Chain A
């Protein structure tokens, strides 16, 4: 019951965030000095074409009226028509979102699978070589620009060594699996197509590592510091006094408590992965939301930019909601409210 109330409050919160985001993004995209008409129609357009375009996108109407038209459309699930692709924005988002979800989930997986153990290892080896190593790699991961890292890993693992593919979601001559979820890895397994699975998995490695490195670094550092704090707690000493195995003490008593701040970070990380995908997708020719957003921004395609922003505005709070639900499991105190 308490959980249901909590969930309702969060969903209302998400709706409020979306209204705020839509107003701010709409305002920003309509008051910037650059003219989307010039961007869309280019150098050759006649005055008549420009007028027709303004009328089609309601750009000849006062700003509040434009916003009202947009919001009315939103209420019907209509995100408008993209200036660049001339398709409904919702169709474009539907096409490109699964690729980004697949990449972001893979990057998140990298961050969890590598970041948490690295943080734990670093904490229990405090002051020794593994600790220095993890801290150094975390420092690099936290400060390296993702586009630079992307080019480096393509140059090394694809161009020089030839170990992994350098871009795209699947090999040129491998047929993508029939769309079920839009995630190639999952769809190829559903279809039982091992060749497509192998190819899409290999294609995911470099972009996921590139995108996930920053998050891995953040999670490793966060896990390390919270683990260090937990290791000094009285209940850890008690656990040792009870004669429990060190591995159990670290994992069951230490890590579970240390994970609470890490989980908070994970929620935020998922949102930041989406924004990181903008650069990663461009470098790896990954046909996802990030690349769509980049192309939309360059073309001043404001309906598309608004669509992407609103989608991100949903994903961020959903990430946080998942985190809050995870708290219920991790920290019994939250269940008591």
Chain B
């Protein structure tokens, strides 16, 4: 009897100990006022759930991944920048003005720097820091370096400081000054603290090992820490001229959209970054939650390989474009999470062509096929696995196209394969019809028009066996300095590709976000970031 009592009392003691350690089961910690100081306190910390598995580095000269671009855009400042969600006109950033001068065989661009800017370390930002940052990116030669070296045609010696507030960049005339300004708005244009980084250099790495998970910028936030596979914490930079109302921003690595949705509804996070149409639908009408969407810069398209008959016939390609029910795709499959865009430049970029002349015209498509003398067409249709941008399954999209094309007597055999395998076939010009998406490397029409038109670039037009003289015009357009004339030139090119190119551009997907109702000022830019300094909660 006593023995039994002793066992029971021991069990009770253990239970009491565990209960004391556990306390009341309140999982929602974000509402707890006694938040960890490392996160800056729950009340003024913005918590964003996002799949951050793409993170490789937070160094602006190394990173080229979506999550890193979003985070570090708020950590580093650039000479020129886009304001808000506009991606067409670069505005002054660290440079108050710039002057483009014809120097004979080159362009000379002179940037005058803003005075009084300080890095998070307290060091003043000077022209030497700008020179160091650009040279560093070129010399490190990591993923984004091609933007400076290949697109802008820069070498390390192309940039110099003429005084502490003046930087001169010498560019070859084979590159576009407009494109260069746009590249400067991207994270690779982020200016780093050269004095601080020189103290962190190891084995000539320009401080890259340090910047992997630290920062040395002048933006409104600094990197506090990056715990791999778990979180990135940004803290407000007290030396920044921009004073954010948030004390910190926490990017939590949560790959499952359903978990993001649950956490948002429970109030454990402020923003869910990777929601699909299913989660957005589930969030409608829920208390304390709002949803928003923004254009991405992606285009989902079908490439028609002109090396395969009868796709070499421009009328057959036009027939395939004409037969597709674009409105049905946007309305029924995407459920509105995308828009009908048929040109090769997405909405949001300069040079976007609003023309959408195609919409399920079966009679016209059939007559085009008759004119081409083609009545019995059978083609292989390569389709990736998983979900397409905008949240629809690639297979559903493929089935819809198959049915649209069947209506005009074109049979396609869908072959679904992993993206990596599909790309290998596509690159080797071995696909007949290939469905995939494309996003520009930098927010300039040239980043789409060149790959879609220039066969020699061995990109999209090469993969579809389309070698057309329009490529010359595309390169000429890229080099035009006057923005208005440039847009006009691109309009002409995109109109031509719309009817002659080997592409069926299906739609431009939207990006979907769930937000707590108290989060204000979150405006997503299509290039892949939001200015977190203007966000309040």
Contacts and interface: CB of A to CB of B under 8 A. Distances in A.
Interface of A: 33-36, 38-39, 42-44, 46-47, 84-86, 92, 95-96, 151, 154-155, 158-159, 162-169, 171-176, 194, 197-199, 201-202, 282-285, 287, 291-292, 295, 300
Contacts of B459: 44
Contact of A163 (B25, B42, B423, B436): B25
Contacts of B35: 173
A164 B256 contact: no
B421 interface: yes
B22 interface: yes
Contact of A285 (B23, B26, B146, B254): B254
A282 B258 CA distance: 11
Contact of B56 (A85, A159, A169, A171): A85
Interface stretch (B91-99, B261-269, B321-329): B261-269
Contacts of B53: 84, 295
Contacts of B262: 154-155, 158-159, 166
Contact of B424 (A38, A198, A287): A38
A172 B250 contact: yes
Contacts of A199: 29
Contacts of B47: 172
Interface of B: 21-23, 25-30, 32, 35-36, 38-39, 41-42, 45, 47, 53, 56-57, 146, 227-230, 250, 252-256, 258-259, 262-263, 265-266, 268-269, 418-421, 423-424, 427, 436, 438, 441, 451, 458-459
11 contacts: A38-B419, A43-B423, A95-B229, A167-B256, A172-B268, A172-B269, A173-B30, A173-B36, A176-B227, A287-B228, A287-B229
B254 to A, nearest CB: 5
Contact of B230 (A42, A43, A162, A287): A287
A224 B35 CA distance: 48
Contacts of B436: 43
A171 B259 contact: no
Which of A86, A171, A172, A282 is packed against the most chain B CB atoms within 10 Å?
A172
Nearest to A285: B254
Contact of B27 (A43, A155, A166, A287): A166
B460 to A, nearest CB: 8
B25 A164 contact: yes
Contacts of B438: 43
Of listed B28, B436, B441, B451, residue having the most chain A CB within 10 A: B28
Contacts of A95: 228-229
A198 B21 contact: yes
Contacts, number: 132
Where chain A touches its partner, the secondary structure class is loop
A113 B259 CA distance: 29
A33 B29 CA distance: 46
A167 B25 contact: no
Given A36-B420, A38-B420, A154-B262, 12 more contacts: A46-B146, A86-B56, A159-B266, A162-B26, A166-B266, A167-B259, A168-B254, A171-B27, A172-B29, A172-B30, A172-B269, A174-B36
Given A85-B56, A172-B252, A154 B259 contact: yes
A168 B427 CA distance: 40
* Residue of A35, A44, A95, A283 with most partner-chain B CB within 10 A: A44
A285 B227 CA distance: 14
A174 B30 CA distance: 10
B445 to A, nearest CB: 16
Nearest to A175: B36
A85 B420 CA distance: 17
A199 to B, nearest CB: 7
B420 A39 contact: yes
A197 B21 contact: yes
Nearest to B427: A38
A282 B427 CA distance: 32
A95 to B, nearest CB: 5
B421 A282 contact: no
A38 B26 CA distance: 45
Contacts of B36: 173-175
A165 B269 CA distance: 13
A33 B430 CA distance: 15
B476 to A, nearest CB: 22
B420 A46 contact: no
Contact of A173 (B42, B57, B229, B253): B42
B227 to A, nearest CB: 8
Contacts of B269: 172
Given A34-B420, A43-B423, A96-B229, A165 B27 contact: yes
A272 to B, nearest CB: 22
A199 B263 CA distance: 16
B184 to A, nearest CB: 20
B420 A173 contact: no
Nearest to A287: B229
Contacts of B228: 85, 92, 95-96, 287
Contacts of A201: 21-22
A261 B419 CA distance: 46
